[in-house]
């Protein structure tokens, strides 16, 4: 397969002959939206891979004879290495560009996912999950950087939620696809190997289509490039006036409330999302008595609701902003509503006994929880294009602290109490942290560093 060069001269715009409209004005191409649809698919595959172990866990737990405490440790393995790589990979994205980093991530995590299908026990599976965490680390911060590079500031809400909507989409489809692969191949191991191979193919697609600069893409015409660059110029002028021209630095941001609110908001969000992603299938199996097929479809409904909610949340945010409303009004209102519904829904899950009602409530929770995917527009708001990668890495590091703490905490809670009530209340606490953070963050201006 011949891959296109990144050299600007070779990838120079070939869409300049796009015919103008009846008014004589050249119509913008829409490559930026196609690129983000590709990222949506990529993140969906990402979450199919990382969530596959949760769907197969009832079988793996029995085969490896694992107690709840070791299950929690195994579920956390991915997040340890994934979290630790976030800031380093953010610097790499800002230095080398998201295209190279995301492509390398795809090749690495595809190989690690396939290797997890060869695990012979707890230790080898734990090591494979660590490898998946290291190699997946560049995808979301890279997507955040591409949002800053490719999207007009009026479109970044939708860009952020299209990118992040791959998470619930992948988690929902993963429940069906992995259970189907297990049933079709007769082995959870083959399902992991096949998923790894598909991920490597996604890496080839990223290298072929993604560019770090709209001007380097063959399909972008002058109208689209000028539209994006006009937004960048306006932001750069505002940054010059405020003195916000810092270069690839993280430490100067540590003194600002909004930086910590961004990090804590994402930590609280992931305390809920990763808790449901990792322990949700076992909760449905052990507390509600679902079999493997029912778990797959229930997972699809719950996370599918999250996908719809996230796309809707981004659309509402951008359209509301287009009316002239300030970013603070839009974001605090939408994310405040989201947080309130999530807290109420999770409390409801703790008191209902009917399995169907529990799935409905979890679907409502996921629908509103995923509005917080708007957070992937915040690194570019606070740090501009230059520092969007490292700020996205810092934000994702904070979120993935929840990733490795939550599975262990839930395992200890379930092991000690023999039930899931206190685990669900743990999720309520995480949602409260999220709610407080989204209300104190200033979404209006780039930070003056």
CA–CA distance, 443 with 258 (Å, rounded to integer): 8
Choose the weakest-confidence range: 88-102, 123-137, 168-182, 415-429: 168-182
> For residues 23 and 183, which has the higher predicted lDDT (pLDDT)?
183
pLDDT in tens, 242-289: 555 556 567 888 899 999 999 999 999 999 998 888 788 778 888 888
Between residues 146 and 172, which one has the greater pLDDT? 146
What is the mean predicted confidence (pLDDT) over 227-234?
Answer: 90
CB 420 within 8 A of CB 284: no
Query: Measured between alpha carbons, how far is 397 from 402 in angstroms, rounded to an integer?
Result: 9
**Contact present, 363 and 341 (Cβ < 8 Å):** no
Quick one: average pLDDT of 209-219?
Answer: 94
The answer to whether the beta carbons of residues 268 and 434 sit under 8 Å apart is yes
Mean pLDDT within 227-242 = 80
For the chain, the structural domain boundaries read 31-440
Q: What is the pLDDT of residue 367?
A: 96
Residue 16 has pLDDT above 90, yes or no: no
> What pLDDT does residue 247 have?
61
Cα angle at 146 between 443 and 379, to 5 degrees? Answer: 25
Burial 236-266 (b: 16+ CB within 10 A, else e): beebeeeebebeeebeebeeeebbbbbbbbb
Q: At what angle do helices 122-136 and 98-116 cross, to 10 degrees?
A: 170
Where does the pLDDT of residue 438 fall: very low under 50, low under 70, confident under 90, or very high at 90 and above? very high
User: Comparing C-alpha atoms, which of 301, 281, 308, 298 is closest to residue 370?
Assistant: 308
What CATH number should be reported for the domain whose range is 31-440? Answer: 1.20.1250.20
Q: If you average pLDDT over every residue of the chain, what do you get?
A: 85
Gyration radius of the chain's alpha carbons: 21
pTM, full prediction: 0.74
Q: Which two tokens stand for residue 262?
A: 């961004």
The answer to which of 21-35, 242-256, 284-298, 319-333 has the lowest mean pLDDT is: 242-256
In the prediction, which pLDDT does 365 show? 96
- Cα–Cα distance measured from residue 241 to residue 249, given in angstroms and rounded to the nearest whole number: 19
């Amino acid at each position: 397969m011949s891959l296109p060069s990144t050299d600007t001269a070779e990838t120079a715009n070939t869409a300049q002959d796009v015919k103008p409209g009846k008014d004589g004005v050249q119509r913008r191409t829409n490559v930026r939206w196609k690129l983000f649809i590709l990222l949506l698919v990529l993140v969906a595959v990402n979450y199919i891979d990382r969530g596959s172990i949760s769907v197969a866990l009832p079988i793996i737990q029995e085969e490896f004879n694992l107690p709840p405490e070791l299950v929690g440790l195994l579920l956390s393995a991915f997040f340890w290495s994934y979290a630790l790589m976030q800031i380093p990979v953010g610097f790499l994205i800002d230095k080398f560009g998201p295209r190279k980093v995301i492509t390398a991530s795809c090749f690495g995590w595809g190989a690690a996912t396939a290797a997890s299908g060869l695990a012979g026990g707890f230790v080898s599976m734990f090591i494979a999950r660590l490898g998946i965490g290291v190699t997946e680390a560049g995808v979301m911060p890279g997507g955040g950087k591409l949002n800053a590079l490719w999207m007009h500031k009026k479109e970044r809400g939708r860009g952020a939620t299209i990118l992040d909507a791959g998470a619930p989409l992948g988690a929902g489809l993963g429940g069906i696809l992995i259970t189907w692969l297990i049933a079709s191949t007769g082995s959870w191991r083959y399902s992991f190997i096949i998923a790894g191979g598909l991920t490597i193919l996604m890496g080839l697609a990223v290298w072929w289509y993604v560019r770090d600069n709209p001007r380097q893409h063959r399909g972008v015409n002058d109208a689209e490039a000028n539209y994006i660059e006009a937004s960048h110029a306006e932001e750069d002028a505002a940054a010059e006036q405020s003195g916000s021209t810092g270069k690839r630095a993280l430490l100067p941001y540590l003194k600002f409330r909004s930086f910590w609110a961004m990090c804590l908001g994402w930590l609280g969000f992931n305390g809920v999302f990763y808790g449901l992603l990792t322990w949700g299938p076992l909760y449905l199996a052990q507390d509600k008595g679902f079999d493997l097929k029912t778990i797959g479809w229930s997972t699809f409904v719950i996370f599918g609701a999250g996908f719809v909610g996230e796309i809707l949340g981004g659309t509402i945010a951008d359209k509301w902003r287009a009316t002239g409303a300030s970013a603070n009004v839009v974001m605090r209102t939408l994310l405040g509503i989201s947080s309130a519904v999530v807290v109420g829904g999770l409390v409801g899950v703790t008191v209902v006994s009917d399995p169907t009602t529990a799935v409905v409530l979890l679907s409502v929770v996921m629908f509103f929880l995923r509005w917080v995917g708007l957070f992937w527009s915040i690194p570019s708001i606070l740090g501009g294009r230059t520092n969007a990668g490292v700020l996205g890495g810092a934000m994702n590091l904070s979120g993935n602290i929840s990733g490795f703490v939550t599975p262990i905490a839930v395992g200890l809670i379930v092991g000690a109490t023999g039930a899931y009530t206190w685990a669900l209340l743990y999720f309520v606490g995480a949602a409260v942290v999220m709610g407080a953070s989204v209300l104190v963050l200033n979404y209006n201006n780039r930070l003056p560093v």
